[in-house]
Structure formats: structure tokens, C-alpha cells
Structure 1
Amino acid sequence: MRTQQTLRTRLVESPTSYGGRRRAERAAWLRRTFPDLAEMTVLDIGGRVESWTGADVRPARVHVVNLEPPRTQIPDWVEVDHADACELPPEIRSRRYDLVFSNSVLEHVGGHERRRRMAEAVRELAPRYWVQTPYRYFPIEPHWIAPGMQFLPVAARAALARRWPLSHTPAQGWQDSMAQVLATELIGRAELRFLFPEAEIRAERLLGLSKSLIAVRTG
């Protein structure tokens, strides 16, 4: 198991891995898209404090909303709330930000109707946004690093999740594996365009294939 997790770390999780380099490139793309990022107030839906404290350029203010507790000390320019991205409380929905940011969250919120609610909140809360999600039709499922896994029936995905050596969090039995796969639903370009009709849909590519999609509105 340690060897398998070490391989996953080398592939996608360490800063020098392919995944780490892609995250750095995506952060640079964000900075180029929003050159005044350092002056912005940003709502990060489903993000983590450490993603911003370690960034080359940080916004003036960041409000992180997540269902998980923060893993690190919170600096004075960051605000953290425990909330559901699809059911934001009125005290958050009543606010306005310069930018809403979300990275690899949309595919985990639980079905199209909940994705629609999250998209509605994103579009209301700021005139600009950046919403990234893995692309359904890339041949490798990114959470398990498993070829074609997203196209299998649910039961087959759950069976694979229990045994696949490169999973992020190895499943502890059938119920756990089912919960994991049902909580991960990759989407395609057509749905993303439907959710964010005024956005530019950008693609991150690997070997000429779209690996992830980003719905971007610059103003």
C-alpha cells in the first residue's frame, strides 16, 4: 500500500508531479486572466486556506466556504465558513465579491440540480468567476487515476474503487466505495455551458485532449 500511495504522490500530488505542475500552470493562468487579483475580494467555494497562503499572488481578501474544517492557521485576510456550496446561507448569499473561484468541486456536489444551484450562486455573487472541473470524456478518471472508470456502471465503479491501487482514499468496504463513486460525477462541456451560459469555456489539455474544463467570466 505504501508503494502504491508513493506512486500516486509522484504522479499527481507532490509539487513536482505532473498534477502539481498542472496546478501551478493553472494558478499562473488565473493570474494572467485576472491581473488585478491582488486587489480583489474572492469567494472560494470548496477550497482550502493553504491554497491561498502558499500562492505567488494572494487576493486582498479571501472567503473560503467548505464543508471540511480548515487544516491550517487562518491569517487575518482570510475568512472561513462551514457551508454547503449548493445551499449557501443568506448571510453569504447577500454579499458580493469581485471574483468567485472554485476548483474541482462542481463534480462532487451531488447531481445536476445541485450543480445548477451552485452555478446560480456563483453567477449571482460576483461579476467574474473561475470554475474548474475535470472533463468527463478525458480517458483517465482523475480521482482514481483509472482508465475509463467514469464510463462503467455504478456497481462496477464501486468494485474497482475497493481494489484500485491509485485511489486517493482507499475504500473501507462496499458502503464506503459506493459512497465515494456516487459522490463523484464528472460532467461534459454541454452541461458546463448550460450552467454558465455567459462564460467562456476553456480547456486544459494533455496530449491534445481536454483534461479539464474551466468556465470563466472576466466581467
Structure 2
Amino acid sequence: MVLHSVRFRLVDSPTSFGARRRARRAAWLSRTFPDLADMDILDLGGRVENWTRVPVRPKRVHVVNLEPLPTELPEWAEADHADACELPTAIRARRYDLVFSNSVLEHVGGYERRRRMAEAVRDLAPAYWVQTPYRYFPVEPHWVAPGMQFLPLPARVFVARKWPLAYNPGKPYELAMKQVLNTELIGRAEMRYLFPDAAIRGERLLGMTKSLIAVRTG
């Protein structure tokens, strides 16, 4: 119970360290795009509720996610159930002011699908902001486990099931395997390759790069 409390304070609580980092990232986004309040945004893999807590809310937010959609939406939002790597023609035909994605790229399922998502991001708007955890930060962020991303697959599955700071420790083997296979952190070289027309920014913690953000300002 003590370790679960530690995780809640670090990651899950609205006042946690993780929540404060997300708030700082939202402020950084609004400084990078001073016209954010007037923008029409496509959010790949996000949630509408996240946009209710930002310091500057865009004029219009279109959320695309594979999760169940909210039953009610504010007037400034729309949502579609779709795959960010295989967007429907109706979405690919639209144009936005900004494409946004936060901690999604590492979960889409391998390089080829990351390439397809990056291609969609670059095509759909003149500006984009794509954030992903950095592979070489010493703590794997999803399980809050030091060095987990460098372990062989069976060891990562073991950590996913047994590490006390993970979500739902003791989960079935099949679920842990699926979660591990669907989490692939990437480094700076691949980020540059996927987004050659972007500046690659580093979000730092304790002097080390914690996440990468590909930014094109238009």
C-alpha cells in the first residue's frame, strides 16, 4: 500500500509531480503557439477532458482515439473513434491549424505504424507538436521502473506484472505481455527521422532529457 501511495503522489494524483509536469507542458505549448486560442486542433490519441484543464484552450479540438468516446461533448469539441495510423479518408481530407499528440507515438505498434502516424501529422496541418517519452531516460515512465526498457522481453513482462509501482500489479500474463509489446520508447535519431522538418526539443528533469517533442511552428 505504501508503494501504491508513492505512485499516486508521483503520477496519478491531480496534484502529483506528473500532473505538474503536464501543466508545465501545456503552458509551454501555449507559449510556442501564441495564437492557440484561435486554432483548430487535431489531437491524436488524447482526451477531450484534458483540454478543459489547460491554461489556453483552442477554438476547436477534434480528438481521435481508439478508446470509448465521451457521451457528451462541449460545443468546442468533437471526437472520433479511429486509429491515428490509419485515419479515415474524411479526416485525412480535412485541414487543421495544429496537430497535437502527447505520449501516443510509443504505443502505436512498431516503426512502420509510427511512420504512418508521423506522415499523417505532417500532412494535416502546417504546425504540429508531438511528444513522446525519451528511451534513454533512466526510468521507464509507464511502470516507473528504472531501466525496464532495456531488459529482455520476458524480464519486462515480469516487471509489468510484479513491480509494485506499476498499474495493477499482479495482472494476468497475457495482459502484461500485450502492454509491454505495445510500449516501445524511441530515441532522438528516430524522432528526427520521423519528423525531418521539425525542431526536436528535449523536456528535461534533473538535468536529463525525459521526453522528446517534435515541433513545427508552421
Which TM-score band applies after superposition, normalised by the shorter structure?
over 0.9
Equivalence map 1:25-174=2 (5 Å): 25-71=24-70, 73-170=72-169, 172-174=171-173
What TM-score, normalized to structure 2? 0.97
Q: Is the contact made by 2:69 and 2:81 (CA closer than 8 Å) also made in structure 1?
A: no
Equivalence map 1:175-214=2 (5 Å): 175-214=174-213
Greater shift after overlay, 122-131 or 165-174?
Answer: 165-174
Q: How much has 1:204 moved relative to structure 2?
A: 0.5
Identity %: 72
Residues 59/211 of structure 1: CA separation in 2 closer, same or farther (3 Å cut): same
Aligned amino acid, residue 90 of structure 1: T
Q: How much has 1:70 moved relative to structure 2?
A: 3.1
Q: Structure 2: how far apart are the matches of 1:171 and 1:37?
A: 43
Q: Is the contact made by 1:45 and 1:64 (CA closer than 8 Å) also made in structure 2?
A: yes
Q: Tell me the SS of whatever aligns to 2:85.
A: coil
Aligned amino acid, residue 11 of structure 2: V
Q: How much has 1:71 moved relative to structure 2?
A: 4.6
How many correspondences in the alignment? 218
What TM-score, normalized to structure 1? 0.96
Q: Which runs of 5+ in 1 are unaligned?
A: none
Q: Is the contact made by 1:4 and 1:165 (CA closer than 8 Å) also made in structure 2?
A: yes
Q: How much has 1:21 moved relative to structure 2?
A: 1.1
Q: Tell me the SS of whatever aligns to 2:69.
A: coil
Residues 136/199 of structure 1: CA separation in 2 closer, same or farther (3 Å cut): same
Q: Which runs of 5+ in 2 are unaligned?
A: none
